[in-house]
Amino acid sequence: GEPIRPNGKFPDIAGMCRFIHSLGLKTGVYTSPGPRTCAGFEGSWKHEEVDARQFAKWGFDFLKYDWCSYGKVAKGKGLERLQRPYRLMGRILAGLDRDIVFNLCQYGMGDVWKWGAQVGGNCWRTTGDLGLARGGLLPGFYRIAFRNMLHSQYAGPGHWNDPDYILIGWVGDAWGMRVGKPTTLTPNEQYSYMSLWCLMAAPLIFSGDMTRLDAFTLNVLCNDEVIDVDQDPLGVQARVVRKTPMELVLAKPLEDGSLAVGLFNLWEEERVITVSWKELGLRGRRRVRDLWRGRNAGEAEGALSRKVPRHGVFFCRLQKEGK
């Protein structure tokens, strides 16, 4: 096959990658192992190596490989059918002279979290696409998070569970190929969304119109202390301490010995959420650092208790004294 060529929308892809790198950022590209991507554009079917080498030559750092139309051409059955296209691309990427993060997007089929790393994947979607429509009282991101939480034992440095994008701010309409619109999530729901993803050590990939970023959305996406929890070198995905119809408590151990804790109010009105040291596996007094507000919030011993707004979160770091 012939290498992918620049077009009117992207006349200088290598130049674009260099510009993005000059901002201190990484750049990613999307394709499918099938003949067509989900939007109907050319996939990588039968020219996988040509495409991969072109991506590396341009300077891409991330590849999202979306199943899409591959199901129409895939042969065989069972796990081998699901693994084959990802094993092939994983082997090709491993042979390049450029490090490219490999994202397996096949919606969790075949329990991909159990074998994604074996075929060269660095992260893998654990569910179907994230929708924000309210099928019940809670927005759709909660449903995705609840499912992603089940696979914490398969996450760690170099291999991550991917619950899908961060869809806030000005949100597009990929399926309808229409102009986007502002998110319908409340501010508290957006704080909860980002907190969940960081506690789950998820890849943080923003999906929205960056030319229309407002100050609030930028604050949600770029809070250093919140992102530090997601990017902690220990690489542990949070465990579920408690989950009821009214509340969710997550805890994530961090490299410095502190514990990140999220108290999530799933209910329709403000409520007090309390978690004990016994539940968290802690002893002694801890300093409480409010991560969203970026300030110390006193000390606690024996239990942590906070009033949390509807669909909101209290996201904190419990630090040992002297740390």
**Catalytic residue numbers?**
66, 129
- Pairing mode, strands 285-290 and 295-301: antiparallel
> Hey, CA dihedral for 21, 24, 30, 33, is it positive or negative?
positive
Q: What's 156's DSSP letter? A: B
Report d(CA 51, CA 1) in Å as an integer.
Answer: 9
Report d(CA 138, CA 91) in Å as an integer.
Answer: 41
Q: What is the 3-state secondary structure (H, E, C) of 266-303?
A: CCCCCEEEEEEHHHHCCCCEEEEEECCCCEEEEEEECE
The angle subtended at Cα 188 by Cα 132 and Cα 209, nearest 5°, is: 50
* Segment (H or E) for 65: strand 62-66
Cite the DSSP H helix spans in 163-269: 187-199, 215-221, 224-230
Helix (H, G, I), strand (E, B) or coil at 30: strand
The β-bridge partners of 197 are none
Question: Euclidean distance between the first and final Cα of the chain, in Å?
Answer: 57
The angle subtended at Cα 313 by Cα 311 and Cα 316, nearest 5°, is: 175
